[in-house]
Amino acid sequence: MKRTAPSTASPDFTHERAALDRGARCVVGLDEVGRGPWAGPVVACAARLVGDAPPGLNDSKKLTAVRREAMVPLLLTCCEVGFGEASVEEIDTLNIRQATHLAMRRAVAALPQAPDYLLIDGNDCPAWVDCPRELLIKGDGRSLSIAAASVLAKTRRDQGMVSLAQQHPGYGWESNAGYGTKSHQDGLAKLGVTLHHRRSFAPIRKMLCQ
C-alpha cells in the first residue's frame, strides 16, 4: 500500500494512469464528507472516470456551491459512481471513524463493477479494503477520480441537509450543513437536540447532560 505526500498541482490522471500501466483495469477514487458536523450522516462516494473529466474539476472545497452543482451532471456522464452513507445512529454506535469506513465500503459496493485499484483520500485505510490501493493525502486536489468523488459526495450530502432543514427549521442546516456554526448553536439553544444530532459528539452530549 502506498502513501503519497501532497503537492501543489491541480488534480490530474497521473495516479490513475500509473495504476492502469501496472495492469489495473478498474481504478476508483474514494472520498467522504461529513466527519465533522454535529448533525446528519456521513456520505461517501466512489467514482471511476470512464470519460474525460469536465474542465475545472477540483477538490470540492475549492469550488463554489454553484460550480459544484453545475459539475454534477457532467460528472455523472463521465463516471461510474457508487454512493454510501452511515446514519447518525451508526455514527453514535460505531464512532465517526468506523462509520466513515462503513459509508466508504457501501459506496464501493454500489459501483457497477468492483475496483481492482483504489485511490483513497487521506491517510486512513479502512480494514475491509482487500485490493491494491494508494492513500493520497489531500487526494481530492491531486487525483481527478478522487476530486470527482469529493464533489459528488459533497453535493449529495448538502442536498440531504437542505431536506432535513425543511423538516427541522431553525438550525441553519441549509447553509451550515450541520457543522457547529453560530446559527446551529443558536438553534440548539432555542429548539434543543433532534434525532439527527450526533449524541456521541461532545457539544451535543454536553447539552443532553445539562
pLDDT single digits (tens) 96-145: 999 999 999 999 999 999 999 999 999 999 999 999 999 999 999 999 99
In a domain, 71, yes or no: yes
For residues 95 and 81, what is the distance between their CA atoms, to the nearest angstrom?
Answer: 26
C-alpha cell read off for 166: 425543511
In a domain, 197, yes or no: no
In a domain, 8, yes or no: yes
User: CATH number of the domain that 46 lies in?
Assistant: 3.30.420.10
In a domain, 173, yes or no: no
In a domain, 106, yes or no: yes
Reported pTM:
0.94
**Binding site as annotated, residues:** 31-32, 121
Give tens-digit pLDDT for 138-150.
Answer: 999 999 999 999 9
In a domain, 54, yes or no: yes
Total tally of structural domains belonging to the chain: 1
In a domain, 14, yes or no: yes
Domain of residue 136 covers 2-160
pLDDT at 87 over 80: yes
In a domain, 105, yes or no: yes
**Binding site as annotated, residues for a divalent metal cation:** 31-32, 121
Give tens-digit pLDDT for 161-208.
Answer: 999 999 999 999 999 999 999 999 999 999 999 999 999 999 999 999
Confirm if 110 and 7 have CB atoms less than 8 A apart: no
